[in-house]
Structures are given as C-alpha cells and as structure tokens.
Amino acid sequence: MDIIRHNPGKILSSAVEYGNLVFVSGTVPDNPDANMQEQTANILSKIDGLLAAAGTNKSKVLSANIWVTDIRNRDPMNES
C-alpha cells in the first residue's frame, strides 16, 4: 500500500491516506483572532476539503480530538 500525503510540510501533512484510512491533524483556523464560531466553521470547512481530496467525508469519521484554549469556548464552538 502506498502512503499519500496531502499538503505535506516540514513537520506534518494536513492529511495522510494509508489503505482505507485517512488521518487529519494539525488543522487550525486561518484567522486565530476570529470568534470561536468563525474559527470552528473555518476548520470544519478545511477538514471537509481534506476529506474530499481523499475521497471521503465526515460521515466516516471514527474518532476526533478537539482542543480549545479555554473550556468556556466549548459552547460557542458547538454552536457552529
């Protein structure tokens, strides 16, 4: 099986395909000064694009880890 790297950088790739698996990591907002809803929408859009490039979508996600800088940002994040 081949490894396919999407948007490879010096340290990591935005997404990596191996077999029937796609790993997405390091997705951050384009504008960190935007409010939480805008940041979340931006990140989800970027993830949609990465998954589409790999021929899949969020309906196939097995697991996701989300970090917020402050737990008080959780509710605004979930509004997106």
Q: What is the pLDDT of residues 1-35, one digit of tens each?
A: 899 999 999 999 999 999 999 999 989 999 999 99
Check residue 10 and give its pLDDT: 92
| Residue 71 in tokens | 């737990």
Check residue 53 and give its pLDDT: 95
Q: Which helix (H) or strand (E) holds 50?
A: helix 36-53
CA angle 3, 4, 5 (to 5 degrees): 115
Q: Per-residue confidence at 80, pLDDT binned at 50, 70, 90?
A: confident
d(CA 13, CA 23): 9
Report the amino acid identity of residue 43.
I
pTM greater than the 0.95 cutoff: no
Dump pLDDT digits (tens) for 58-72: 999 999 998 888 999
